[in-house]
Amino acid sequence: MRNENKIVYKEGLKGVICDWAGTAVDFGSLSPVSAFEEAFKDFGHEVTRDEIRQFMGMYKKDHIRELLKLTRERFRKNFGRYPTEEDVEFIYGKFEPALIKIIREYSKPIKGVVEFSKEIRKMGLKIGSTTGYSEEVMRIVVEEASANGYSPDFWSMPREDVPGRPYPFMIYENAIALRIYPMSAIVKIGDTVSDIQEAHNAGCWSIGVVVSGNELGLSEEEIEEIDPALLKTRVEKGYNTLKEAGAHYVVDGIWDALPVIEEIDQRIRSGEQP
């Protein structure tokens, strides 16, 4: 006989998992774009910033694979052949040093992040994090962010045995390390489509951020200088992109996320699931 009874989780949120570049540090997610531009230029196959930003948030080798796939006909015209895995490895070998060279200066917390993390801990929640960066890069990022007041309880990065976004496995690692469950008791905050997909695939709630992240892709200084009407249009486009990707909520930046966290907590306590 089929059992129609369903256990509904109503104990509220237990954890928040944040992305790094564009969400917690590196306003505008500028450092990886700069490193990709340099790496591809050194290889002799230049790609545009818009092309680079299409795949932001992914494991960086996967990001390179997608860029080469996107521009494969241009690549063939340049080199007389289609790209190979050897090309991926060569470009990645250029990307990592280029990123490491600049990453520290881009690793200070975005405005509101330190205060947000303090309030989250007051609520009794754990703070985890995921990234598309390598371990070598992350050690610099974590050290610099911590020195400036932001230090999550755990961080996970993609590896050979842990595929990166949009796969959910880094979120699972956070859940295991922080002892938080079920997955519907977790919120993932990020600035890219792959962040939203990661949350969806893990069974978590998701909050997308636009103004500080990849979808807008501007520094704070550039935001001050851009035409207000154009800025509004670009922000609206970013909101729509993350909503279409499946984000439960979209905000300008993590500085606006606390009321959303509280709302999600109440929705869970009333029996809702992602």
Query: Catalytic residue among 6, 10, 14, 19, which?
Result: 19
pLDDT of 6 > 90? The answer is: no
| pLDDT, tens digit (0-9, with 9 covering 90-100), for 180-218 | 999 999 999 999 999 999 999 999 999 999 999 999 999
Distance CA(41)–CA(240), nearest Å, equals 32
pLDDT of 44 > 70? The answer is: yes
Q: Are strands 15-18 and 126-129 parallel, antiparallel or unpaired?
A: parallel
Q: What is the pLDDT of residue 3?
A: 67
Instruction: Reduce the DSSP state of residue 208 to 3 states and report it.
Output: strand
| pLDDT, tens digit (0-9, with 9 covering 90-100), for 9-40 | 899 999 999 999 999 999 999 999 999 999 99
Q: What is the pLDDT of residue 198?
A: 98
Query: Catalytic residue among 14, 26, 60, 126, which?
Result: 60
| pLDDT, tens digit (0-9, with 9 covering 90-100), for 120-167 | 999 999 999 999 999 999 999 999 999 999 999 999 999 888 899 999
Side-chain half-sphere exposure of 266, counting CA atoms within 13 A: 6
> What percentage of the chain has pLDDT greater than the value 90?
94
Distance CA(264)–CA(18), nearest Å, equals 16
How far is residue 222 from each of residues 211, 216, 233, measured CA to CA in Å? Answer: 11, 10, 15
What angle do helix axes 193-202 and 169-178 make, rounded to 10 degrees? Answer: 60
CB 122 within 8 A of CB 116: no
**Average pLDDT, whole number, for the chain?**
95
Torsion over CA: 242, 243, 248, 252 (sign): positive
| pLDDT, tens digit (0-9, with 9 covering 90-100), for 144-154 | 999 999 999 99
| pLDDT, tens digit (0-9, with 9 covering 90-100), for 168-182 | 999 999 999 999 999
CB within 8 A of 101, min separation 6: which ones?
none
> What percentage of the chain has pLDDT greater than the value 70?
99
| pLDDT, tens digit (0-9, with 9 covering 90-100), for 223-266 | 999 999 999 999 999 999 999 999 999 999 999 999 999 999 99
60 is catalytic: yes
pLDDT of 7 > 90? The answer is: no
> From edge to edge, which strands make up the β-sheet containing 126-129?
126-129, 15-18, 186-190, 205-209, 249-251
pLDDT of 5 > 80? The answer is: no
Stated pTM of the model: 0.92
Domains of the chain: 15-29+107-269 (3.40.50.1000), 31-104 (1.10.150.240)
111 is catalytic: no
Distance CA(170)–CA(19), nearest Å, equals 11
Which phi and psi (to 5°) does residue 105 adopt? -70, -15
Which phi and psi (to 5°) does residue 134 adopt? -80, 170
